[in-house]
Amino acid sequence: MKSILMTGATGGVGTFLRKEFANRYRLRLSDMRPLTTLGASESFMAGDCASLDDMLRVTEGVDGIIHLGGYSVEGPWETILQSNIIGAYNLYEAARRNGVKRVIFATSNHAMGFYKRTARIDHTPYPRPDGRYGLSKMFGEGVASLYADKYDVSSLCIRIGNAAMQPIDVRRLSIWISPRDLAQLIGIGLEHPDIRFAIVYGASDNARGWWDNTNAQCLGYRPVDRSEDFAAEVLRAHPATTGDAIADAHQGGAFCTAEMVENPAK
């Protein structure tokens, strides 16, 4: 079994990925918050992405990294700077120094949030971040590209839509990804021999989706879950619009107008 570091392991995404990968990898879990209950193939090392010394310590001796760590919604500049911008640099620099050759970088749909919902985009258009959080993910994608080209640290950057057990509102019918579909995509990122640097969207088979995910399909991604299975329930419970014209027109939703977003509304 490969040894895989997962940063941000105490968060919601980390929690369900632990279940998906429990019998596939030896997981070294890391976060600023402690984990007291560990599985047979899991270990824990505390670490702060904003500390290069911490990242050097937690990345030593692993075969790959799933980087979920950082601040996951729109927030204050100093928080975003330390957690997501300095944190992304520290993670990649530590990987380089410790000889780790494969990183899964959890980027976000918010790097592209100011594209209109009427647009269908793939991985190639220029980024249009919808806030400081989206900007930080744009930076992280740039770091991943640099370290692939200059230092041979390969990366799959997954622009995650909304990772949850099911979509909970109309916008998420377009961007949702199930735990097992995300685990499939991350597994491809860790195992595919030909990845050097690639950007894909983290989305299930969503009939209302805004993204052309051909790049993921070319790597072998075949989502098994569909947001449309939940559509009737969602549409009964939620209006089609929120009353915020800018948010309703753009893929980033409320992030396009909010200065702060309550965690974990992605």
Is residue 192 within 8 A of residue 30, CB to CB? The reply is: no
Question: Which of 25, 133, 147, 221 is the catalytic position?
Answer: 133
**Which residue type sits at 175?**
I
Query: By CB neighbour count within 10 A (0-12 exposed, 13-18 middle, 19+ buried), where does 125 fall?
Result: exposed
Question: What is residue 114's DSSP assignment?
Answer: T
Rounded CA Rg of the chain: 17
Active site residue 115: no
3-state secondary structure string across 4-52: EEEECCCCHHHHHHHHHHCCCCEEEEEECCCCCCCCCCEEEEECCCCCH
Among candidate residues 179, 187, 175, 261, the one with its CA nearest the CA of residue 221 = 187
- Cβ neighbour number for residue 88 with a 10 Å cutoff: 25
φ, ψ at 232 (rounded to 5°)? -60, -45
Residue 29's beta-bridge partner residues?
Answer: 6, 44
Residues that are catalytic? 133
